[in-house]
């Protein structure tokens, strides 16, 4: 993984590169970013750069023996641990080493993949995924040995918030005083769940979500889609690159007309249309149901922005969606936006919990109708 393969985020890249060129590499760093951010790709790009044998300006070379092995995640001095559990295939002694071929394949297919994607791939039958204490002890043993060929031994801990307390405690001494030329890179999506003792021993690298221009450029250049499709997907993704990539795989992306018709039916109290569309939405794939709700949230947000400050803060083209943003801005106020957004957020959470989708959309329709009718 090279920095050039990650769109935008130049301010973070510059900070990381400068730490190497100025010989200020912190031995334990915490890459903190919500799911769908570039926290994991940045950590791997940084590790690649640190051990690159022929660095170029602003990036690793991508061609030396170290980079070639890092790009395939097969470097002998790169150690990656992550949450696992037993499944039908691995019924006991689950570990990162056992599942690493699957994890590597998932990362190489989509560097922005999430804990949910990994959990689904693992098919652990609703078991809790954890980094157990044995993983920590194994890492401590590995870093005590001499490096095979790299300048730095690198340990990447993906989602350290899934470590039990005893596992985290087993790493504390190594995080505070690691062997020479050892680099710990922790990648978290939920920093608030980390032990304070872990946070206090690491230097934080905050990774923001992507902006619209960064996602749009990536989709056009890397995925080869049209400008119009890239704009539509970018709006739905709302800074989350994993969501953007997921949306590209969906067959039906006509969110605009679906949301427009649904909101109009709820606003006008058209009961038959509300029932029909609830049935239709409830039959869609779960990811598409969630993205529809996310799109609706964006419309409410932009409608309020348009009402209060005009077009300056709109993320969507002011002339698109059949002027839906402008039209809704005439019938909603701040109080209604809060209520409507809460209803859609609740629906999104219920669908994630696998509650009957048709019932969720039906209940959501009636709640929106009630809010629209409020004086």
- The mean pLDDT of the chain is 86
Rounded Cα gap, residues 334 and 301, in angstroms: 10
H helix and E strand count, the chain: 17, 5
Q: Interhelix angle for 357-373 vs 255-267, to 10°?
A: 50
The string of pLDDT tens digits covering residues 283-335 is: 887 777 887 888 788 777 777 776 666 555 455 554 454 466 666 767 777 88
Name which of 320, 360, 322, 319 is nearest 343 in CA terms.
360
Phi and psi for 97 in degrees, rounded to 5? -65, -40
Of 169-173, 187-191, 351-355, the range with the highest mean pLDDT is 187-191
Instruction: Note the pLDDT of residue 347.
Output: 94
pLDDT tens per residue, range 147-156: 899 999 999 9
d(CA 163, CA 79) in angstroms, rounded, equals 16
Query: Which helix (DSSP H) or strand (DSSP E) does residue 310 occupy?
Result: none
**Confidence (pLDDT) at 309:** 60
Of residues 324 and 348, more confidence is placed in 348
User: Is the pLDDT at 185 greater than 50, yes or no?
Assistant: yes
Q: 108-126 pLDDT, tens per residue?
A: 999 998 888 888 888 766 6
For the chain, what percent of residues have pLDDT higher than 90?
45
pLDDT at 158 (0 to 100): 96
Residue 357 has pLDDT above 80, yes or no: yes
Position 37 pLDDT exceeds 60: yes
Task: Retrieve residue 169's tokens.
Answer: 């405690």
- How many CA atoms, within 13 angstroms, populate the side-chain half-sphere of residue 364? 32
Q: Are the C-beta atoms of 341 and 301 separated by less than 8 Å? A: yes
Distance CA 364, CA 282 (A): 12
pLDDT greater than 70 at residue 166: yes
Per-residue model confidence (pLDDT) at position 321:
43
Question: Where does the chain show beta strands of DSSP type E?
Answer: 28-32, 78-81, 153-158, 182-188, 203-206
Instruction: Determine the pLDDT at residue 319.
Output: 47
Q: What is the pLDDT of residues 51-65, one digit of tens each?
A: 999 999 999 999 999
Q: Give me the pLDDT at residue 318, please.
A: 47
The answer to whether 149 touches 68, Cβ cutoff 8 Å, is no
What pLDDT score was predicted for residue 315?
Answer: 53
User: What per-residue confidence (pLDDT) applies to 310?
Assistant: 55
* 45-54 mean pLDDT: 96
C-alpha 154/C-alpha 169 separation (Å) is 19
- The yes-or-no verdict on residue 69 having pLDDT over 90 is yes
Q: Residues 228-243: what's their mean pLDDT?
A: 80
Give the pLDDT confidence of 71-109 residue by residue, as tens digits. 999 999 999 999 998 888 888 888 889 999 999 999 999
Buried b (16+ CB within 10 A) or exposed e, 71-80: bebebebbbb
Cα dihedral sign, 13-18-23-25: negative
pLDDT above 70 for 145: yes
Closest CA to 187 of 174, 200, 205, 172: 205
Please check the confidence at residue 231 and state whether its pLDDT lies above 90: no
Identify the pLDDT of residue 87.
Answer: 81
Count of positions (residues) in the chain: 375
């Amino acid at each position: 993984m090279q920095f050039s393969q990650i769109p935008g985020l130049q301010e973070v890249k510059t900070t990381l590169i400068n730490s190497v060129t100025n010989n200020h590499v912190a031995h334990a760093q915490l890459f903190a970013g919500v799911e769908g951010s570039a926290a994991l790709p940045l950590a791997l790009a940084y590790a690649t750069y640190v051990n690159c044998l022929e660095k170029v300006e602003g990036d690793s070379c991508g061609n030396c023996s170290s980079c070639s092995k890092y790009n395939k995640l097969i470097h002998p001095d790169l150690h990656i641990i992550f949450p696992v559990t037993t499944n039908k295939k691995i019924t006991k002694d689950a570990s990162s080493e056992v599942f690493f071929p699957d994890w590597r394949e998932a990362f190489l297919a989509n560097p922005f993949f999430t804990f949910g994607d990994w959990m689904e791939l693992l098919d652990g039958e609703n078991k809790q995924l954890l980094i157990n204490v044995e993983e920590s002890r194994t890492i401590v043993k590995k870093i005590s040995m001499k490096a095979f060929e790299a300048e730095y031994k690198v340990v990447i801990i993906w989602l350290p918030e899934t470590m039990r307390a005893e596992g985290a405690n087993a790493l504390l001494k190594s995080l505070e005083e690691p062997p020479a030329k050892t680099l710990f890179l922790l990648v978290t999506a939920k920093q608030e769940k980390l032990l304070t003792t872990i946070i206090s021993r690491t230097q934080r690298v905050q990774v923001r979500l992507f902006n619209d221009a960064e996602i749009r450029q990536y989709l056009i250049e890397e995925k080869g889609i049209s400008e119009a499709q890239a704009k539509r997907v970018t709006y739905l993704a709302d800074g989350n690159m994993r969501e953007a990539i997921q949306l590209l795989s969906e067959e039906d992306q006509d969110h605009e007309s679906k949301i427009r018709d649904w909101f109009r039916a709820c606003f006008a109290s058209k009961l038959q249309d509300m029932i029909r569309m609830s049935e239709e939405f409830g039959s869609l794939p779960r990811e598409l149901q969630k993205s529809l709700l996310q799109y609706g949230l964006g419309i409410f947000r932009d409608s309020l922005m348009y009402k209060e400050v005009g077009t300056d803060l709109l993320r969507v083209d002011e002339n698109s969606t059949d002027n839906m943003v402008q039209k809704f801005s005439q019938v909603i106020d701040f109080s209604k936006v809060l209520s409507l957004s809460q209803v859609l957020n609740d629906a999104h959470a219920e669908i994630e919990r696998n509650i009957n989708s048709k019932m969720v959309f039906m209940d959501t329709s009636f709640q929106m109708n009630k809010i629209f009718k409020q004086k």
